Chains A and B, each alone.
Chain A
Amino acid sequence: MTTLSDKMLVRAVLAGDKAAYEKLYDRYAPLIRAVCFDTTGNLADAQDLAQDVFMRAYEKLYQLHDPARFGKWLVGIARRRCHEWLRRSLQLRDKRVELSEVQIAMPDPPDDSRIEQLREKIAMLPEKERLALHAFYLQGKSADNARRIMKLSRSGFYRVLERARKRLRRLLAREMENVR
């Protein structure tokens, strides 16, 4: 089976093939949800934001100079959208405090606590390391795909990924010590 490149898919979308966008969505939506989750901290909001990111990308697709860099471009849109979301959330929170109506966000369905803890620790990693983990684990563990999103050489990507894992192990070990 031939895997169509991002470049070919983007060109197909611009030529009117809407179905090609589904393929791009399948390829990148989990990654974009993960990037959004870093800001929102809950899955439902991350899913909503990711939908919005794909909507915006579709509208602005003709502005993409290099279709081969669709992944990196999309992550950029996601980051900007997350900043907007955060700004708005903070404004809303301030308003709520003023009105003394503190709302409690509905938590996500219960998850394995160890996994939940792991997600929390991932969110504490530096942005570059976080993106390396997201890209690697959500792009079929292909370092080639993941490094392209980050514009890194293969060895450079592995270095960042290794650093992320080490830091994650340290954070988790520290957590265990605190529990004891």
Chain B
Amino acid sequence: MKTPLDKDLNKAYEAFNQNHNHLRQTLMASLPDRAEQHKPAGRANHALAFIGDTIMRSRITKIAAAAVIIIVLMVGINEFGGSGNGAGVAWGDVLENIHNSKTLTFLIRAEEQGLPSMKVMVIDPYLSRVEFLIEIPDSPISGKQIRIIDKGQGRGLILNTVKKTAKVCRAEKTGVGLYGTFRNFRDLVDFSVDKIGSRQIGDKQAIGFKLKKQSQKEQTIVKEEIKVWADPETKLPILMEATANTAEGQIIHQIITDIVFDAELNESLFSLEPPDEYELEVFDGDDYVNRIKSAVNMDRILKACREYVDEHDGQWPDNLQDLAKYGVNKPALEGYIYLKPPASPSESRIVLYEAYDSWNDGIGVGFADGHIEFIKEESDFKNRLGKNQDQR
């Protein structure tokens, strides 16, 4: 049953569909046959764009800019980007070369955060290997650790070189996304890009690009900034500096160096067979995978509940079987306890949780506002469950 308000809203919004077909035809007839393409500009155009970005923002330099642009057009170089080669390097060239490479190795450091440096090796599209050193005096975990992931097979291997142990784990069957590094290299198209001139790195006069991206994770605005310094000859990055804030308000600063594309990498480095001298440990990854699967399932159930509420005057279903109409079938409902809340319940009211006989590591719990938490302590869960009585 729909609420009167819901019905009226449906009707109110119908108006915006009026004459839709006619309006579509009119629009389509007036559009050019082809949407304008972003044509890669030639050398002089790049220089123009760069100079435009850099200079035109300042009123004082606006007048001088015209003269500079003419010089740039005549001699084909710009004084602001360093060498003549550099002026011709466009972000599109760098990105294309990244996309065309098959292997990648680099070092990543985040020293300010006290994190270990990592050596990363990637073979496109599925294999990755990360080596890092943990240095804690007198700690049994000090030493080199190696993590190998094969996303094609959906498996991984974690080697502890100190304890000589190996754990086999599962991995998501997607392209390489380890620490977001190689993936970030490939997804940099999402960022806005500005040229930032040139800088001497080793014997190279590297060309700089600043990439900025802003996104929202839950309630936090995450700002990411990456400075990419590219070799003007190979048009590939040789140094990257990345800064991002976390949801907890921490600023993460990472430096990626020793970047080598298309290096020859021996595939045995990516073998998922534990070395002979290593003892194979039982991995608790299945629990983790099941936990994620259950959370996804609970999310579907809660979403269906919200749809039910929308169509039933704010009332929640009497039991989960009522959700069949909303695409949630019986197998998905098994193993959960549903607690029907009153209409317009408090956001923190527990409405769904995983049934359990004995408490292990924790259970998934769904709340009236649609969010799901994994609660580790039984006392915490019971405490929050008890609050259901005191709130709507």
Contacts and interface: CB of A to CB of B under 8 A. Distances in A.
Interface of A: 13-14, 16, 18, 21-22, 25-26, 29-31, 33-34, 37, 43, 46-47, 50-51, 54-55, 58-63, 65-66, 111-112, 114-115, 118-119, 122, 133-134, 137-138, 141, 143, 151-156, 158-159, 165, 168-169, 172
Interface stretch (B21-29, B259-267, B269-277): B21-29
B33 interface: yes
15 contacts: A14-B35, A18-B34, A25-B27, A29-B20, A47-B18, A54-B27, A55-B30, A58-B31, A63-B38, A118-B9, A122-B12, A138-B13, A141-B307, A152-B216, A158-B306
Nearest to B367: A155
A19 to B, nearest CB: 8
B5 A18 contact: no
Contact of B37 (A14, A137, A151): A14
Contacts of B27: 25, 51, 54-55
A65 B192 CA distance: 7
A29 B23 contact: yes
B35 to A, nearest CB: 5
A70 to B, nearest CB: 12
Contact of A154 (B5, B19, B370): B370
Contacts, number: 113
Contacts of B192: 65
B297 to A, nearest CB: 15
B347 A18 contact: no
Nearest to B369: A155
Given A18-B28, A25-B24, A115 B35 contact: no
B34 A16 contact: yes
B36 interface: yes
Contacts of A29: 20, 23-24
B23 A156 contact: no
Contacts of B347: 155, 159
B23 A141 contact: no
B190 interface: yes
A43 B24 contact: no
B369 A26 contact: no
